[in-house]
Structure 1
Amino acid sequence: MAAMTKKGETVSSNICCSPVFISRESLCSILTHETLMNHFQSTLPKALTILQTPIRQHYSLSSSSSLLLMPSWSSSPSLPYIGVKLVTHFPQNSSLNLPGVQGSYVLFNSTTGQTLASMDSTQLTLYRTSSVSGLASKFLARPDCEVLLMVGAGALAPHLIRAHLSAVPTLRKVIIWNRTVEKATTLAQKLSQSEEFAGVSFEGSGSLDEVVTLGDIVSCATNSETPLVKGEWLKSGAHLDLVGSFKHSMMECDDEAIRRGKVFVDNEAALVEAGELVGAFDRGVIKRDEIGGCLVELVRGDILGRSSSEQITVFKSVGSAVVDMLAAQLVYETYTRS
């Protein structure tokens, strides 16, 4: 939280406060996908000019597990924070009924270095990742979309569904696909029972090639290392949202999907980290200068998103410390005002 000095500058008003721990429950009571998307849309352009955000550090702990460190800091009084997210990625945790992605976010005062707060970054990541995708769909999906296909039924899936439904209110049907069809069906049944989704139908599916052709928005959140979505399956005017991959060995769609679509990214790290794009560059499917642009350019209106109702758009996100910081800022400042 911030206060005004006599000169009108914003400074932290938490210099003498003890650090706070913001629980998972508190975080979930503070955030909604709609408010976070709005926060990103209003703050992202300025934040990119004042935040220092080194490329995240990625350490392989084993053949399947990873440790990621994502720091960000600002010396501007308008955003007086230092933040670090520490994340573990253990995809095998699904067999233990535990989240595959877990971690903590620590927020410091950038004037004094004082610890201000720590919070559950697992939930923070789920909210910010899905809200980035939702925000992108505002610019890239057709305004008359009716069918959302969710590829994957893990922890991120219900968040992506909520974000896309908030961003594109014309959506009326959600199809959930998962390799284990029971997981897709269970999630569909659970969501269909919620009053927040009045007027939206849900169903599970185990046949991806059949349901991809129905998706106006196809959102993917998997750990797949083999292409799931084939470009030839995408309908005219579809928007493909790729969330899962963050290293070269991972990919959720094939080269044809990249070739057919106009590709946008959340930030430039996607060009060197995402398996779908790195592989496509290497194979000559697409050149780097053919990428449509970044999310902040869409938000600022610097570039055009969708140019026609028939165009296929692709959005690839890998995450960034910038949106982590902005999400943590919203949580912390809301929490300390309450």
Structure 2
Amino acid sequence: MNNIVQISNDFIESNTDFSELIQQIGSYFKQNEVLVPMRHHHDFPNPKVNSDSTLLLMPAWNPSKDAGVKVVTVSPENGQFDLPSIQGTYIYLDATKGGVKAIIEAKSLTVKRTAAASALASKYLSRKDASTLLMIGTGALSINLIKAHASVRPIKDVFVWGRNFQKAQDICYALKAEDFNCTPIETIEQKISEVTIISCATLSKSPLVFGAKLQPGQHLDLVGAYKKDMREADNDAIKKATVFVDTFQGGLKESGDIVIPIAEGIISESDIKADLFSLTTNTHVGRKTNNEITLFKSVGHALEDLAAASYYYKKFTNE
């Protein structure tokens, strides 16, 4: 037990190179050696806040190499307690002997790997000359998504929208030292039809991105809407876009952005073109033309957590 290391959010925040992390996660998808059971997803009543909370268990096992499980709670009403909606811990294991190698705070690990996965998809799906980004949402993911996308594309101008304009201002202030300009905006409509990448990370139950506003050549990155009754894009957006997911295992089952259009007959499962396994192995080319509208739906995957846990463990131990 004395050999178990503890890796804090502060360490992760100070020791993340998105280019490295994106490469690490991409290599795990490309090698496709990790065994990942379907995540455990349990909703529990939380009567004190009149809303459900969710428990997620996300195990992954790379035989005789590395293994781990993330234990996460999602409580959408935590804002009233001045706490993040998502909280959790990652238990990093010795895949050969079964012991615990590290306890990793999961907040920063999760947002970093999520942002890195979106940027990994963007390498295949957004235009190579993409220079403008609209960030919809002002939660913990927002700054990380902006930085991750900017690490793979020549982003020069970023626009941030949130229901709380002050939070959008705060994000841009936090990014003032970056190589791109960041501007808070009052409405999504101000910029949604002008930018080349739209990244959306919210807990919205109704669409914020409407297909009528999308233009040829745009890439839409949907990161929020982690439950079947949540969605960030409307049916028109789904119909206009070439749709990709992080994994078929979770992407077709967990988010309203995909589940609802399939249930309503707007699209079929066969309309989902590829996942990150296919993109990283070049089984699917990704974006085919500059005028194509591409859409990436991320629900998260335990492979991403394991790749990130391995990355931070090696950083921490200098292995």
Offset, 1:17: 7.0
SS at the partner of 2:140? coil
Q: Which has the larger radius of gyration?
A: 1
- Which residue matches 2:245? 265
Which deviations, in whole Å up to 9, do the C-alpha atoms of 1:38-65 show, x marking residues without a partner? 112223221x2x3221111111122332
Written as runs of structure 1 = structure 2, the 5 A alignment for 1:77-92 is 77=64, 79=65, 81-92=66-77
Structure 2: how far apart are the matches of 1:233 and 1:332?
43
Q: Which runs of 4+ in 1 moved over 4 A?
A: none
Distance 1:146 1:74, change over 3 A: closer
SS at the partner of 1:61? strand
Give the counterpart letter for 1:331 in structure 2. Answer: Y
Offset, 1:334: 2.2
SS at the partner of 2:41? strand
For residue 296 of structure 1, the aligned residue among 258, 274, 277 is 277
- Which residue matches 1:13? none
Give the counterpart letter for 1:114 in structure 2. Answer: G
SS at the partner of 1:292? strand
Unaligned runs of 5+ in 2: 46-50
Matched, 1:51 2:39: no
Matched, 1:162 2:147: yes
- Which residue matches 1:93? 78
Structure 2: how far apart are the matches of 1:246 and 1:38?
25
TM-score normalised according to structure 1 size: 0.89
Structure 2: how far apart are the matches of 1:278 and 1:43?
26
Written as runs of structure 1 = structure 2, the 5 A alignment for 1:240-251 is 240-251=220-231
TM-score normalised according to structure 2 size: 0.95
Written as runs of structure 1 = structure 2, the 5 A alignment for 1:304-319 is 304-319=285-300
Structure 2: how far apart are the matches of 1:96 and 1:154?
15
Offset, 1:133: 0.2
For residue 141 of structure 1, the aligned residue among 126, 133, 156 is 126
- Which residue matches 2:61? 73
Q: Contact 1:17/1:116 (CA < 8 Å) preserved in 2?
A: no
- Which residue matches 1:334? 315
Structure 2: how far apart are the matches of 1:325 and 1:43?
9
Which deviations, in whole Å up to 9, do the C-alpha atoms of 1:101-153 show, x marking residues without a partner? 11100011122111111011111000000000011111100111121000001
Offset, 1:72: 1.1
Structure 1: how far apart are the matches of 2:173 and 2:287?
33
Structure 2: how far apart are the matches of 1:259 and 1:210?
23
Matched, 1:176 2:160: yes
- Which residue matches 1:109? 94
Structure 1: how far apart are the matches of 2:260 and 2:90?
32
Structure 1: how far apart are the matches of 2:129 and 2:246?
23
Aligned-residue CA RMSD (Å): 1.4
Structure 1: how far apart are the matches of 2:187 and 2:271?
32
Q: Contact 1:150/1:176 (CA < 8 Å) preserved in 2?
A: yes
For residue 324 of structure 1, the aligned residue among 281, 305, 313 is 305
Which deviations, in whole Å up to 9, do the C-alpha atoms of 1:231-257 show, x marking residues without a partner? 110121100000001211100000000
Structure 2: how far apart are the matches of 1:325 and 1:136?
18
Q: Contact 2:29/2:276 (CA < 8 Å) preserved in 1?
A: no
How many residues are treated as equivalent by the alignment? 313
